[in-house]
Structure 1
Amino acid sequence: MNEDEIASLTKNGIYRGEPLNGELEETHISWVILTKEHVFKLKKPVKLSFLDFSTLNLRNKYCEREVMLNSRFTDIYEAVVPVYHYDDLWYLAEGNGKIVDYAVQMKRLATARRMDNMLRQNKVRTGDVSILAHQVAAFHKNADKIYRPFELSTARALFNDIGNCINLVEKEIGPAGAETIEQSIKWSDNFLNHHAGRFQDRIDTGLVRDVHGDLHSGNVFIYKKPVIFDCIEFNDQYRQIDVLYEVAFMCMDLEAFHHPQLAEVFLKSYSNNFPCFEVNEDEAIFRYFKCLRANVRAKVQALSIGQSHKEREVRGHIRKVEKYINLMKGYMRQ
């Protein structure tokens, strides 16, 4: 589907005999339609270096995987539903004519309870973060262990891919931002070379597991029992990671929201339930993982600049790229 078709589906698509009359949110790989009771998530027909949603069959496959994998965390995922186009109308879940796409159907939760929105309003409490950390640790304890060998070249490529954004960063942020990226690539190469043995040791001791892969505040709702959702389904290697890399994402995100004390609470509560710092070297690896997470977020925001059509959205993405680059600089200095 294209953007015009998605806009039509969002407002006029028929579900259970009634128009959706929904609101559309967008990421660089998905369209998300919000209705009163449900959320419908469609995958954009894109093919990138790390995912392939380019065909109808692939989008159906990854919708099914999204429901299956996220059901490990929550019951808000309800079904994969087909999208039909018939007689100039769009239908979800039932209809005649040709299936043109598939959507993941979820229960809608209160947007105000999403953790990132609550952080912006200083409404997240230490108790909320502690409960979330306990929940994550409990899941990690029972997650499948992955014994894939550490590949230095793959690790280097993951970090260094941000080099493709240097020209954009120099244009939108300035030479200092571009210089930080260049310095970070050299820093990362040296770090990985020096600590490659410890990365392998952590794999050998079972600390690489099949977890969430994208654990940040935008993928958590804060209720009495937190709701974790939207894990990575499109690339197993992005989800089968060192547990410290998962924890580092949430801690980096909390620090990006200027809540370092909540990051400390999360890390302490998690570690009390699932100790994952085995030797002193792991402290340095944890900081590296936070830098890598900031790196990836900067890259995602940079990609979003080219997909945004409104000046306000473009400016927002530029500010976030700058924020994450500054976080990278801070982690490197540590």
Structure 2
Amino acid sequence: MLPPVIRALLSPAAYPHPVDQVELIQTHISYVLLAGDHVYKIKKPVDFGFLDFSSLGKRRHYCRQEVVLNSRLCPDTYLGVARIRDRDGRITVDGAGKVIEYAVHMRRLPGERMMDRMLESGEVTNAMIRALAARLAEFHARSETSRRIAEYGDWAIRFAWAENLRQWADYIGDTISEEQDRILRAYGEAFFARERDLMARRVRQRRLRDCHGDLRSDSICFSNGICIYDCIDFNRRLRYTDVAGDVGFLAMDMDYRGHQELAVAFLDSYVELSGDPDLPHVIDFYKCYRACVRGKVEGFRSRAPEVPPGQRRAAARAAERYFRLACGYAESLPPALLIITCGLTASGKSALVRRLEEATGIEAVSSDVVRKRLAGLVPSERRFETFEGGIYSPQFTERTYATLLEEGRERLRRGQSVILDASFLRREHRRFAAGLAAEEGAQFACLEFRASDETVRRRLARRLREGGDPSDARWEVYVAQKRRLQRPSEVAPERLIVVDGERPLDRAARQVLRRLRSLSPLSLPEKA
């Protein structure tokens, strides 16, 4: 149930400027009202310990703080503090009557230029990432640092880490498991013990600054330069931090959204431009810490009664993903890897997949095996159907791919990399797979197999003669597939690995492994 003041502000008549429609967005601490070309952000009357907006006076103070602090990185967007007034039951913005609430007044930024949306659409380039790293390095270089800020030292991050542990305790068994809680507790203790000298050295090097404190892609807009907004205004302890806290938060956010390659480019650029050679030694900790913060916050939203049920469920899923990501950092494990194969029958997919399984220990899920299982057949049992007939009908194929992708999702949610061994002839199926990887915070790679007609004909004849292969494909099927194949032009070049099906298997496998390791370093454990 929304408070009366928020319900009143959903009316366009409440504003002193033209408004056609008002849109409401809620976070765990704010109501954000999008009103035409303007935005009004009202702080909720909550007290979480690390923030206290429980009185009107405190909300006024922190609204003013928000405007001042965010003018450092987004000066033209923050317009001031608006007064919400009530006169005889009519609630308006900067109208007549008694002040009943305060709101941060902002100029509305173009949604299509927000970094989170641009990441989703694939529009963020390496040049944009380098410019962002330069902007952040320059901001940190001129941000305030002093003996007072340095006094926060590593005790502040230790306190924040312990505070997180206490605050998510009620969510153990819900959005975070007992095992994950154990892993994160042990990691924090080990890190602080092992890196005590390094943390002290960073204080001496003046790496503790008055930072942003909450740097994520949905707080960055690539419009008229780079606007970075929505910093922490409510708690100096969370803002007076190592610059690695800001860098780690944004890098973690890109990892979470499935853009690990951009996260690496961002980190490399920042280290170069800031002259901070020690940052790589602490960045995994700060990424882990920031993932924990987001897991905690999404957990709060998952139980907030004023948040609609669908959004609460989505928040719970997001919290689970953040805690999985945090544990990945804590265990020094990279995000999982989702690999799909794409190519016509007998182009060499399954043979190379078996080599990858042997070399990396990553298990594959075969669409041929899934299809036979759904049909109640054993994998080696033949079912020669006409093209797109019987268990190869479009309807059965859709069912097969849905099951294949769901099995892949289950592996990723357990933190396991997986290979989906299928033809993936249709662009739609490949996009589903890429979307699945992004949703689960995994890296994505597509192996496109190519082989000549002569090679395919020879392999099909041998397969039919020897038996034992779960595939039922024949030459007629290959010809029909060739007509239907949609080349994977939608896959980003760095995620697409073209495999020459004519090459010796060992050489092809080595080539693929080199490319996969360059895409996701250390994601591919060697079994030997």
**Considering the TM-score relative to the shorter chain, is it more than 0.5?**
yes
Query: Which amino acid in structure 2 is aligned with residue 168 of structure 1?
Result: Y
Deviates more, 1:151-160 or 1:119-128: 151-160
Alignment partner of 1:303 is 2:306: no
| 1:13–1:89 CA contact under 8 A, matched in 2 | no
How far has the Cα of 1:171 moved from its partner? 3.1
| 1:150–1:200 CA contact under 8 A, matched in 2 | no
What CA distance in whole angstroms lies between the structure 2 residues aligned with 1:267 and 1:152?
22
Query: Which amino acid in structure 2 is aligned with residue 328 of structure 1?
Result: A
| 1:146–1:240 CA contact under 8 A, matched in 2 | no
1:102 paired residue number: 102
How far has the Cα of 1:166 moved from its partner? 4.2
Deviates more, 1:161-170 or 1:321-330: 161-170
SS of 1:171's equivalent?
coil
1:122 paired residue number: 122
Larger-gyration structure (1/2)? 2
Alignment partner of 1:170 is 2:173: yes
2:80 paired residue number: 79
1:332 paired residue number: 330
Indicate which of 153, 158, 167 corresponds to 1:156: 158
2:283 paired residue number: 286
SS of 2:36's equivalent?
coil
Alignment of 1:41-52 (within 5 A): 41-52=41-52
**Structure 1 residues 153, 69: closer, same or farther in 2, change over 3 A?**
closer
Q: Give the gaps of 5 or more residues in structure 1.
A: none
Superposed CA offset, 1:64-91 (max 9, x none) = 1111111111110011111001122111
| 1:150–1:199 CA contact under 8 A, matched in 2 | no
Alignment of 1:10-49 (within 5 A): 10-16=10-16, 21-49=21-49
SS of 1:145's equivalent?
coil
**Structure 1 residues 154, 139: closer, same or farther in 2, change over 3 A?**
closer
1:230 paired residue number: 230
1:69 paired residue number: 69
Query: Which amino acid in structure 1 is aligned with residue 101 of structure 2?
Result: D
What CA distance in whole angstroms lies between the structure 1 residues aligned with 2:143 and 2:155?
26
**Structure 1 residues 155, 134: closer, same or farther in 2, change over 3 A?**
closer
Query: Which amino acid in structure 2 is aligned with residue 91 of structure 1?
Result: T
Please report the TM-score for the alignment, with normalisation by the length of structure 1. 0.91
**Structure 1 residues 251, 17: closer, same or farther in 2, change over 3 A?**
closer
| 2:19–2:36 CA contact under 8 A, matched in 1 | no
How far has the Cα of 1:160 moved from its partner? 3.1
What CA distance in whole angstroms lies between the structure 1 residues aligned with 2:243 and 2:13?
41
How far has the Cα of 1:204 moved from its partner? 1.2
2:89 paired residue number: 88
Superposed CA offset, 1:5-60 (max 9, x none) = 30221225522265673111111111110011100111111112111111111111
SS of 2:41's equivalent?
strand
SS of 2:84's equivalent?
strand
2:465 paired residue number: none
How far has the Cα of 1:198 moved from its partner? 1.7
What CA distance in whole angstroms lies between the structure 2 residues aligned with 1:287 and 1:260?
13
What CA distance in whole angstroms lies between the structure 2 residues aligned with 1:118 and 1:289?
24
**Structure 1 residues 311, 37: closer, same or farther in 2, change over 3 A?**
same
Query: Which amino acid in structure 1 is aligned with residue 296 of structure 2?
Result: K
1:195 paired residue number: 195
How far has the Cα of 1:151 moved from its partner? 5.8
Deviates more, 1:247-256 or 1:13-22: 13-22
| 1:83–1:92 CA contact under 8 A, matched in 2 | yes
| 1:13–1:92 CA contact under 8 A, matched in 2 | no
Q: May I ask how many residue pairs the two structures share in their alignment? A: 327
What CA distance in whole angstroms lies between the structure 1 residues aligned with 2:325 and 2:175?
17
How far has the Cα of 1:121 moved from its partner? 2.1
How far has the Cα of 1:310 moved from its partner? 2.4
Whose relative contact order is higher, 1 or 2, with alpha carbons under 8 Å and at least 6 apart? 1
What CA distance in whole angstroms lies between the structure 2 residues aligned with 1:199 and 1:17?
50
What CA distance in whole angstroms lies between the structure 2 residues aligned with 1:102 and 1:199?
39
What CA distance in whole angstroms lies between the structure 2 residues aligned with 1:217 and 1:50?
23
How far has the Cα of 1:132 moved from its partner? 1.0
Please report the TM-score for the alignment, with normalisation by the length of structure 2. 0.59
**Structure 1 residues 228, 152: closer, same or farther in 2, change over 3 A?**
closer
| 1:302–1:317 CA contact under 8 A, matched in 2 | yes
**Structure 1 residues 172, 139: closer, same or farther in 2, change over 3 A?**
closer
Query: Which amino acid in structure 2 is aligned with residue 155 of structure 1?
Result: I
SS of 2:11's equivalent?
helix
Alignment of 1:138-153 (within 5 A): 138-147=138-147, 148-149=150-151
2:468 paired residue number: none
